[in-house]
Amino acid sequence: MKPDLMDKVIIITGAGSGIGRASSLLFAKEGAKIIVANRREEKGNETVELVKDAGGEAFFIQCDVSNEENVKNLIDKTIKKYGRLDGAFNNAGIVGIRKSIIELNSKEFDEVIRTNLFGTFLLVKYQVQQMLKQKSKGSIVNITSVAGLLGRPGRSPYNSSRSGIIALTRTAAIEYIKNGIRINCLAPGVVKTDLFQTSTDGGKTNKIKEYEDAHPIGRVAEPEEVAESALWLLSDKSSFVVGHTLVVDGGYTIL
């Protein structure tokens, strides 16, 4: 059977760790040429080496997704290297500080919105622009979170950014589906990554058990399980799925 992403050129942001790294390895195994986009060069290059060691193809481009010039450069360098762009997994993101609304200052709120929501806007804008120029089909997957579907005290910047990504995805999907560009998003529950280590105090408190109990499945996700769902959304196997939010949460949102 033909691999799901054979010869497709795919950008993955935040590919230096966690879900982005697991996705780089999986998509490369499925035949994609991976553009590893990351702010931190060292971590990005580590992912490139891991992909190559596993027999895949990957190329690092440094990119801060909240910086417009960096995002334009990401697309330009991708085109210089491979001549086209077939898809993207816009996965980079931060959680930000946990504070109530009246305690938060503007800078703290803005930082999370700039990376998660504004960054996703920039990526979608320049990726779609390139796909339109190529007159080719494309598939874009944005990461959101169950946090985008729920309210949580102390999490207004993160949750607002995640809800915004769902709305942005739906809007972009309607604007460009007639051009053959499918845009969807993925909403994971809690996933075992660096980000999880930070929000669980590195396992020093009882937080891990708390998170596990919040998922009816009784555990949190492995990054590879999220990567599998992103792969499906990116590939032609989900060809009739448009503007959808795929919830991958072990039942978190149905409890």
Ligand X SMILES: NC(=O)c1ccc[n+]([C@@H]2O[C@H](COP(=O)([O-])OP(=O)(O)OC[C@H]3O[C@@H](n4cnc5c(N)ncnc54)[C@H](O)[C@@H]3O)[C@@H](O)[C@H]2O)c1
- The catalytic residues are 158
Position 65 contacts ligand X (CB under 6 A): yes
CA angle 238, 222, 24 (to 5 degrees): 60
Q: Which stretch binds ligand X (CB under 6 A): 28-36, 128-136, 187-195, 237-245?
A: 187-195
Q: Which of residues 117-176 bind ligand X (CB under 6 A)?
A: 119, 143, 145
Residues of the chain by 3-state class (helix, strand, coil), percent to 5: 50, 15, 35
Quick one: which of 5, 9, 12, 14 contacts ligand X (CB under 6 A)?
14
Asked if residues 183 and 135 have their Cβ atoms less than 8 Å apart, the reply is: no
Using the contact rule CB under 6 A, the part of the chain among 34-42, 124-132, 165-173, 234-242 near ligand X is: 34-42
From the DSSP assignment, how many helices (H) and strands (E) are in the chain? 9, 7
93 binds ligand X (CB under 6 A): yes
CB of 128 to ligand X, least distance (A): 19
Applying CB under 6 A, the span of 58-66, 77-85, 99-107, 124-132 interacting with ligand X comes to 58-66
- Closest CB to ligand X among residues 115, 156: 115
Closer by beta carbon to ligand X, 85 or else 165 = 165
CA distance 120 to 25: 22
Residue corresponding to tokens 């990351």: 38
Per CB under 6 A, the list member of 9, 11, 19, 140 interacting with ligand X is: 19
CB of 102 to ligand X, least distance (A): 24
Residue 11 in the binding site for ligand X (CB under 6 A): no
What's the closest the beta carbon of residue 134 comes to ligand X, in angstroms?
Answer: 24
**Residue 62: CB minimum distance to ligand X, A:** 9
Phi then psi for 40, rounded to 5 degrees? -90, 115
Within 3-118, residue ranges assigned H as helices are 18-29, 41-53, 68-82, 106-112
* CA gap 1, 125 in Å, rounded: 34
> Between vectors from CA 167 to CA 195 and to CA 182, what angle results, nearest 5°?
90
The rounded distance, in Å, linking the Cα atoms of 82 and 77 is 9
What residues line the site for ligand X (CB under 6 A)? 13-14, 16-20, 38-40, 43, 63-66, 91-94, 115, 119, 143, 145, 188, 190-191, 193-196
